[in-house]
Structure 1
Amino acid sequence: MFNRPALTDIVARTRGDLLTRLTQDELLRRADAEINTRVLAGASHEIHGYLDWISLQIIYDTADDELLVRWASIWKVERKDAQFASGNVLVTGTAGQTIEAGSVLKRPDGALFDVTADTVLGASATAVPVLAEVAGVAGNTDAGMQLTFLNPIANVQSVVVVDSNKLANGSDIESIPDLRARFIERIQNPPSGGAADDYVEWAKEVPGVTRAWVYPKEMGAGTVTVRFVRDDDPTIIPDPTEVAAVKSYIDSKRPVTADLYVVAPTPVTLNFNIQLTPSTVAVKGAVEASLRDLLLREAAPGVTLLISHIREAISTAAGETDNVLISPTTNQVYTTGQMPVFGAISWV
């Protein structure tokens, strides 16, 4: 590891080197030797600083954001771009009326969505495809949410609703920590022509996917089952549209001999009942954050979540001095496909 010397050390080295090369008479005639020493040391200190920076950029786990993206790209690990939420809204109006592409809908919070294709209304509510104007997870919209046409259309009801499949697949640009983790994982687990790790990596290459697991032969000989979650979405469990997107992507990568199944984990809500000391808002928030972090690190389909780890997460929360975990009281065991998701905390 490169150790950058302090400026005072560089000054002392330069002064010592300079003085050893001058006689006493020369010192008297050249009283500006100290000034020269400091000027040279300052320049050297800047060079040492650059060397210190370079030493961090050549290692993947310490490289700055811009260079990390470049390093990852060389290894063919591309940063995932933000994606636009899309889906259908149900529009009611006079049969035969056309909803033109480019018509704009507005959500109550101001988010805008564009109609993507000319659609002729039928006798009942008609599905009209829309796309969020701004990429990101904020564009995802629950089924049943009401949107309003920004400019009213004759013979068409201004208020529409999102259909049962919701507006989905919106995701933010991949964070640098997530890219770094995925990049290092790629180096440590190089592609192996369809090995288990390959399926995990392929799933995580899809925008919005943050964690994935693979289960060979779960559906029988020659089968591969993949489950995944989207931790940055309001609900981490993917919907059918998001599941289909991951399956389509992996199908384009996997060996043709494997039968692929991509399914969403089955969520099982995990609630907590805790007696906490001190029982302040700040400490309660710290405990909740610690428990959520535990699930982020250890929750997986079919996992056994240890009660000792739950107790540890509570006890290590900032500000906590004592606690009693009233429930759960035992290890939390989940069957195939089941996955614990954070529910609520009851404070005693």
Structure 2
Amino acid sequence: MFNRPSLADIVTRTRGDTLTRLSQEELLRRSDAEVLARVLAGASHEIHGYLDWIARQVIYDTADDEILIRWASIWKVTQKPAVSASGNVLVTGEAGKTITVDSIYKRADGVEFSVTEDTILGAAPTAVPVEAVAPGAAGNTLAATPLTLMSPISGVQSVAPVDSAGLTNGSDIETMASLRARFIQRIQQPPNGGSESDYEQWALEVPGVTQAWVYPKEMGLGTVTVRFVRGDDVPIIPDPAEVEAVQAYIDERKPVTAEVYVVAPTAVPIAFQIDLTPDTAAVRAAVEAELKDLLLRESAPGATILLSHINEAISTAAGETDHILASPTANVVMTAGQMATFGGITWL
């Protein structure tokens, strides 16, 4: 194992080595030797630093971000790019009016959306396709959220609500931690002609997907069922468009004889009831964060959330000294395809 010496250690070594090579007369002038020792030690320390850096880069789990991206690309594991949210807004106006491509709608917080194709309005509110100008999860927008047309058009309502499907599929660029985990998984579980790990890796390659589970033969012989979540979205359960995107991605890579079903887990919200001590806003927020983190770590399709782990999560919240968990009162058991999600907290 390479252990980088400190600058002080290198100075001491160099000084000692230099002085042992000087005569008694030369030692009288050892102040010069001290200067020389420090100069040489400084140069050696820089070289040791470079060697230390190289030692980190040749190991995948310690490589810096730039080197990690290059290592991963050699194994054909690429960083998932940020993706723009998209969907429709419902525009009201005079029939026959045209909303032209590249027209800009803006959300109240300043996020902008661009119209992606010319759309002629009908007599009823018309669905106009839009896409977030800036890629990322910030573009995801709930149904009925009002967007404002930045350049008003005569005869067209400037404010248009997002339709019932919302603006979805927006995701941030993949984090280095996620890329590193997928890269190491690729090395440890190489492609194997359609094994369980292959389907998991394919699903995780789709932007926004953070966890995936594979169930062979769930729909019968020759079938593979894939469930996944988008852990950075709210909610994490994918919508039909997001499911379709993963289905299409896997269909391009699966063995030709496999019948693959990509489905969303069925969300089962857990409604917590807690009597908290001390009952302050800060401690409530800490408890909520801990419970959400617990579900993010342990929730999976068909997985049981243990009551002891729920109590443990509450107890580890900053500021909590005591609590009574009124609900749930037993382990929360999920059936096949069901997945526990956060259903809010009632404070007693």
- TM-score normalised per structure 2: 0.95
CA–CA separation in structure 1 for the residues paired with 2:142 and 2:10: 62
Is the CA contact 1:142–1:162 (under 8 Å) kept in the aligned structure 2? Answer: yes
Q: Matched residue of 1:332: which SS?
A: coil
Runs of 5+ unmatched residues, structure 1:
none
Match of residue 163 from structure 2: 163
Paired residue secondary structure (1:311)? helix
1:277/1:322 contact within 8 Å kept: yes
Q: Does 1:65 align with 2:89?
A: no
Greater mean deviation of Cα atoms: 285-294 or 229-238: 285-294
Matched residues in 2 for 1:142 and 1:286: separation? 26
CA distance in 2, matches of 1:94, 1:281: 50
The answer for the alignment partner of 1:213 in structure 2 is: 213
Alpha-carbon separation, structure 1, partners of 2:268 and 2:30: 81
Cα distance in 2 for partners of 1:31, 1:226 equals 73
SS at match of 1:267: strand
**C-alpha displacement of 1:214:** 1.0
Count residues in correspondence: 348
Give the 3-state SS of the residue equivalent to 1:333 in structure 2.
coil
Aligned match of 1:294: 294
Bigger CA drift: 194-203 or 94-103? 94-103
Q: Does the 8 Å CA contact 2:113/2:131 hold for their aligned counterparts?
A: yes
| Structure 1 CA distance for aligned equivalents of residues 204 and 31 of structure 2 | 66
After superposition, what is the alpha-carbon deviation per residue over 1:8-65, rounded to whole angstroms, capped at 9, x for unaligned? 1111111111122122122225541111111111111111112122221111111111
RMSD: 1.6
Equivalent residue number for residue 112 of structure 1: 112
One-letter code aligned to 1:97 = K
8 Å contact 1:216–1:224 — kept in the other structure? yes
Q: Which amino acid aligns with 1:80?
A: K
1:121-140 equivalences under 5 Å are: 121-140=121-140
Partner of 1:13: 13
Q: Contact conserved, 2:104 with 2:114, CA < 8 A, in 1? A: yes
Structure 2 CA distance for partners of 1:154 and 1:303, relative to 1, 3 Å: same
- Superposed, 1:143-222 pairs within 5 Å as 143-222=143-222
Structure 1 Cα separation of the partners of residues 60 and 324 of structure 2: 42
Name 1:236's counterpart in structure 2: 236
Per the alignment, residue 331 of structure 1 pairs with 331
- The one-character-per-residue Cα deviations of 1:197-217 (angstroms, maximum 9, x if unpaired) are 111111111111111111111
Aligned to 1:312: 312
Is the aligned partner of 1:262 residue 2:262? Answer: yes
2:327 alignment partner AA: S
Could you list the per-position Cα deviations for residues 223-274 of structure 1 after superposition, in whole angstroms to 9, with x for gaps in the alignment? 1111111111121111111111111111111111111111111111112223
Change (3 A) 1:202 1:326: same
Secondary structure (helix, strand or coil) at the match of 1:94 reads coil
Query: 5 Å matches for 1:67-86?
Result: 67-86=67-86
Matched-pair identity in %: 68
- SS of the residue corresponding to residue 32 of structure 1 reads helix
Q: Cα gap change, 1:176/1:221 in structure 2, threshold over 3 Å: closer, same or farther?
A: same
Displacement after TM superposition at 1:281 (Å): 3.6
Q: Work out whether residues 165 and 241 of structure 1, in 8 Å CA contact, stay in contact via their aligned partners in 2.
A: no
> Matched residue of 1:185: which SS?
helix
SS of equivalent residue, structure 2 residue 168: coil
Task: Say if 2:19 and 2:30, in contact at 8 Å, map to a contact too.
Answer: no
* Structure 2 residues not aligned, in runs of 5+: none
Residues 322 and 123 from structure 1, CA distance in 2 versus in 1: closer, same or farther, beyond 3 angstroms? closer
Q: Per the alignment, in what secondary structure is the counterpart of residue 325 of structure 1?
A: strand
1: distance between equivalents of 2:283 and 2:146? 38
Q: Distance in 2 between matches of 1:316 and 1:90?
A: 46
CA contact (8 A) 2:99 2:118 kept: yes
Q: CA deviation at 1:68?
A: 1.3
SS in 2 for 1:127: strand
